[in-house]
A = this chain, B = another copy of it.
């Protein structure tokens, strides 16, 4: 029945060469119908992608990054796109070796000079995941439960990347012309800091990016049950604090009390970073945060964020702040410091009476305007060296960083955001929330800084998707409606261009 309807609609508009001049429903209804009809196929493809263990955190999985990049390229080529695997050099690994980085996939479709050109960014690598971390299902087997699709990368970022490709496929399958020129830039090292991508952007600024009008990124999630547009992200620096002591691990019975234990130094170092209110204690950091204006303050009032619901969702008894505005600002417009763990110490279950010889504390600082990562890194190093000096320890201290991503904030009055708001309204029947993102998508700022193009983030993931966590998921609803949103966004963007 639905197929007959589709066929009729397609027949009615067969002669149209540019769909954007047609009434909205005439263009979008067949697209939306196709997406609904083919949703199981789309979910199945997501399952195939999730099954690829493209965890960029450890080089043993880098072969799988190559594999998923090839799978992505194959889909684009099937739809008539041209692909290039751009070399982005080698990565210095923490063990001292260097390894060729997986390339960045650059893709483009046939270009019509009368259409605006949209460049879509996404990544196909994922965070680490092990069943024993507390996953209810195997992280690399996409599993549907109660309308949710569980699996590592389901929402961050394989689901959204596929939704973009499915949106393109839908135009082609319904014999409609995609109303914008499309380019894709898909990488495989986002989760460890997108090294090499910034440099590539610079290199291709006069070529690949020269005819790009807009850049859109869908690599974050909504903040509530309502759809959202994102106009800012926090930056990040990841720190490795290494304290090295004796030649070997020592027996705590034999040597305890007589040696300067690297772990004692480490705990003192990590303990000097922030206080129990979450305030960063590294001198100079809080002073560089952009002051809050009254205009900005107002933006937070309209955001739908239910403190009680969020408490229940993540099962915490309270937040560090008391009200909605303060919590959102703590997540979006103020810096934060999280201690992630210690490498080299005893971390298995059970007991081991060891004095670890060398330990590497790991923490990261999320950064906001007007913090400058290079300045933050210097401030942190100086602070840690000062604390370490007070330890009067004969051990050695080494502080290194692996990520250095600037914060990003866009202009909400940009036409890109207007098209995004219209597309959201069309698909979800309501205005999007205008939000910022606490996490880091370094490329947002890099694109804006290097190419000078307008950048928008258009999330389709739900607020409870648990990216980076156990039981990461995307709901079937968000995955499928998100595909519609992307299809509608192509249309609204082209219409906006025509209307101007």
| CB-CB under 8 A for A234 and B253, given A267-B339, A321-B258 | yes
Distance in Å: Cβ of A442 to nearest Cβ of chain B = 11
The interface residues of chain A, by DSSP majority, are classed as: loop
Interface string of A250-274 (1 = CB under 8 A from B): 1111111111110111011011001
> Contact check: which of B247, B348, B390, B470 meets A57 at CB < 8 Å?
B348
Q: Which residues from chain B contact A264 at a C-beta distance below 8 Å?
A: 274, 276, 278, 339
Distance in Å: Cβ of A163 to nearest Cβ of chain B = 20
CA gap between A278 and B348 in the complex, in Å: 25
Q: Which residues from chain B contact A250 at a C-beta distance below 8 Å?
A: 314, 468-469
A315 interface contact, C-beta 8 A: yes
Interface string of A455-471 (1 = CB under 8 A from B): 00000000000111111
Task: Select from chain B the residue with minimum beta-carbon distance to A342.
Answer: B342
Contact A342 B340 (CB under 8 A): no
Q: Which of the four size classes fits the interface of chain A?
A: 35 or more
A74 interface contact, C-beta 8 A: no
Contact B95 A349 (CB under 8 A): yes
* Contact stretch, chosen from A26-34, A36-44, A126-134, A489-497: A126-134
CA gap between A357 and B278 in the complex, in Å: 16
- Considering residues A95, A336, A356, which has the most beta carbons from chain B within 10 angstroms of its beta carbon? A336
Contact A128 B352 (CB under 8 A): yes
| CB-CB under 8 A for A257 and B339, given A192-B350, A276-B264, A349-B94 | no
| CB-CB under 8 A for A253 and B354, given A316-B394, A338-B263, A347-B343 | no
Q: Which residues from chain B contact A470 at a C-beta distance below 8 Å?
A: 248-249
Contact A347 B338 (CB under 8 A): no
Contact A316 B248 (CB under 8 A): no
A174 interface contact, C-beta 8 A: no
Q: Which residues from chain B contact A111 at a C-beta distance below 8 Å?
A: none
* Contact stretch, chosen from A326-334, A372-380, A420-428, A480-488: A326-334
Distance in Å: Cβ of A300 to nearest Cβ of chain B = 13
A335 interface contact, C-beta 8 A: yes
Q: Which residues from chain B contact A353 at a C-beta distance below 8 Å?
A: 127, 236, 238, 338, 340, 364, 439, 468
CA gap between A127 and B249 in the complex, in Å: 12
- Considering residues A250, A349, A471, which has the most beta carbons from chain B within 10 angstroms of its beta carbon? A349
Distance in Å: Cβ of A91 to nearest Cβ of chain B = 11
Distance in Å: Cβ of A303 to nearest Cβ of chain B = 14
| CB-CB under 8 A for A331 and B94, given A128-B352, A316-B394, A353-B338 | no
Contact A276 B268 (CB under 8 A): yes
- Considering residues A58, A330, A339, A364, which has the most beta carbons from chain B within 10 angstroms of its beta carbon? A339
Contact B356 A245 (CB under 8 A): no
Contact B259 A58 (CB under 8 A): no
28 CB < 8 A contacts A-B: A57-B351, A58-B348, A58-B349, A58-B350, A127-B354, A134-B248, A238-B353, A240-B351, A246-B314, A247-B314, A252-B439, A253-B438, A256-B366, A257-B278, A257-B335, A257-B366, A257-B438, A258-B278, A258-B320, A258-B327, A259-B320, A263-B338, A263-B339, A338-B353, A338-B355, A340-B353, A341-B356, A353-B468
